[in-house]
């Protein structure tokens, strides 16, 4: 490694601190990890409006609506609103075929903005006490809405996120994403214990309707409106919780090019959201402001540092010398030992997380290790593409 020693030391120490922090948080929260509110009886369940924005999803909207209609939520307390954003395929016809089941179709004028304006159009006409936002390629499990709605018996709760999982992963890329999604919602659950949830994911989240009166509707200028809404709620100290049991299954990119496009959007939207809500980087916001958000920024830098180091070693011809025992031994020093300890802790984190998931097949050991090693490099590629698009001023569309 050729970078300044001080940079290496600081980077490794910060990464170590973050990893140990998450471990301690898990240990501290272990007894309440799966503890969620009891399911409310029908009579006390609040009314819910499910808002589903859709644009050319003829392939999936029927399945989404079937899943929604299959929810074990009292039909009298359920309103289903599909907002069509000027689809040009058969989406509208498919949605209209569900009209007899009470599904409302709103024809929205596409403003070139994207999903957020369609969501807002649905929220404006929604009548439920709660608003559930659902992506048109996402399929909630039967009891998910009841589980999420039960959280709202506590008046202090403003939003609850579902456990987003990958729907029927087939190829290696989808299977890697399925591991990623499992750890994301698991981490989100932990962060909810320190009031630091930073995204209300589009596949399924539930909000108290009156919160939109207080903080406003989804930001129509944001390309990552689900995260922007979460930041806005956090800025007002509103409580966001995360469920492990309320499951929603979503489709993910099957091709790397589609995944790259998705992640570049997330990254660009994320950067803009952090800049917009930079006041959250403040001790006033507790763990979120002092540790969680700064750590997430530093993680990006760390990933870049690792990626750049590997590229440099490949260019300088040193990379392949790593595969010799001699080269490994001669490089061994303090930083390398701490990095190795960090790697072991990371592996332990994944193995513990795996133990907590029911579906062991989904997180088989080979897949887990593939995720650990592959994703570092994928994430770097995503960020390099992100910076490239930012530098060349390419307008990001939803």
Partner 1 sequence: MEEPRKPFSISLHVTALILSIIVFVFGIGIGNYLAGQVNNSFYTEIDSLQTSNVNLEFLSLLESDPSVTSNAILHTQMCNAVEQSAHSLGVQTADVGRRLRLFEQKRGQGADVLALEQRYFALEARDYLFWKRLKTLCNTNLTLVVYFFKTECNECTPFDTVLADFKKQDPPGILIYSFNLDYAPTTPSTSMLSSIYKVDAAPAIIINDKKLNGNTTVEELNKLV
Q: Name the site residues for partner 1 (rule: CB under 8 A).
A: 12-13, 16-17, 20-21, 24-25, 28, 155-156, 158, 194-195, 208, 211, 214, 236-239, 283-287, 290-291, 318, 321, 326-327, 329-338, 340-341
Q: What are the angstrom distances between the C-alpha of 53 and each of 107, 110, 210, 266?
A: 10, 11, 20, 18
User: At its nearest, how many Å lie between partner 1 and the CB of residue 22?
Assistant: 9
User: At its nearest, how many Å lie between partner 1 and the CB of residue 321?
Assistant: 7
Closer CB to partner 1, 335 or 385, in the complex: 335
Q: How many CA atoms lie within 13 A of 324 on its CB side?
A: 8
Closer CB to partner 1, 121 or 123, in the complex: 123
User: At its nearest, how many Å lie between partner 1 and the CB of residue 367?
Assistant: 28
User: Measured on CA atoms in the order 313, 315, 321, 323, is the torsion positive or negative?
Assistant: positive
Closer CB to partner 1, 284 or 360, in the complex: 284
User: At its nearest, how many Å lie between partner 1 and the CB of residue 3?
Assistant: 12
Closer CB to partner 1, 17 or 373, in the complex: 17
**C-alpha to C-alpha distance for 238 and 232, rounded to whole angstroms:** 9
DSSP state of 155: T
Q: Edge-to-edge strand order for the sheet containing 204-208?
A: 103-107, 78-84, 48-54, 130-134, 204-208, 157-166, 239-250, 138-140
User: At its nearest, how many Å lie between partner 1 and the CB of residue 31?
Assistant: 15
Closer CB to partner 1, 290 or 384, in the complex: 290
**C-alpha to C-alpha distance for 65 and 105, rounded to whole angstroms:** 12
User: At its nearest, how many Å lie between partner 1 and the CB of residue 5?
Assistant: 10
Closer CB to partner 1, 17 or 256, in the complex: 17
Q: Which tokens hold the place of 380?
A: 């770097």
End-to-end CA distance of the chain: 39
């Amino acid at each position: 490694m050729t970078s300044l020693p001080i940079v290496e030391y600081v980077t490794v120490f910060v990464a170590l601190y973050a990893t140990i922090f998450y471990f301690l948080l898990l240990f501290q929260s272990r007894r309440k990890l799966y503890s969620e509110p009891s399911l409310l009886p029908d009579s006390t369940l609040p009314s819910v409006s499910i808002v589903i924005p859709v644009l050319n999803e003829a392939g999936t909207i029927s399945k989404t609506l079937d899943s929604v209609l299959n929810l074990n939520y009292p039909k009298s307390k359920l309103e289903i609103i599909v907002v069509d954003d000027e689809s040009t395929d058969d989406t509208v016809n498919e949605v209209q075929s569900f009209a007899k089941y009470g599904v409302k179709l709103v024809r929205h004028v596409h403003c070139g903005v994207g999903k957020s304006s369609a969501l807002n159009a649905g929220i404006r006409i929604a009548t439920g006490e709660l608003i559930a936002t659902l992506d048109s390629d996402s399929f909630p499990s039967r009891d998910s809405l009841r589980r999420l709605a039960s959280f709202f018996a506590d008046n202090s709760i403003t939003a609850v996120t579902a456990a987003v999982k990958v729907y029927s992963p087939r190829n290696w890329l989808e299977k890697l994403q399925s591991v990623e999604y499992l750890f994301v919602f698991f981490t989100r659950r932990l962060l909810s214990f320190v009031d630091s949830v930073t995204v209300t994911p589009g596949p399924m989240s539930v909000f108290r309707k009156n919160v939109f009166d207080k903080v406003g509707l989804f930001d129509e200028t944001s390309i990552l409106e689900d995260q922007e809404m979460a930041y806005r709620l956090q800025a007002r100290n509103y409580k966001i919780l995360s469920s492990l049991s309320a499951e929603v299954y979503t489709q993910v990119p099957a091709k790397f090019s589609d995944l790259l496009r998705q992640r570049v959007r997330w990254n660009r939207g994320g950067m803009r959201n952090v800049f917009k809500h930079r006041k959250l980087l403040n001790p006033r916001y507790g763990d979120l402001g002092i540790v969680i958000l700064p750590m997430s920024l530093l993680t990006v830098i760390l990933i870049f540092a690792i990626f750049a180091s590997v590229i440099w070693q490949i260019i300088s011809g040193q990379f392949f010398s790593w595969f010799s025992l001699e080269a490994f031994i001669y490089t061994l020093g303090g930083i390398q030992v701490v990095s190795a300890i960090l790697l072991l802790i990371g592996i332990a984190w994944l193995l513990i997380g795996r133990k907590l998931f029911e579906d062991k097949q989904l997180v088989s050991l080979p897949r887990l290790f593939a995720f650990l090693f592959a994703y570092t490099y994928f994430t770097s590629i995503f960020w390099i593409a992100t910076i490239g698009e930012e530098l060349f001023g390419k307008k990001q569309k939803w």
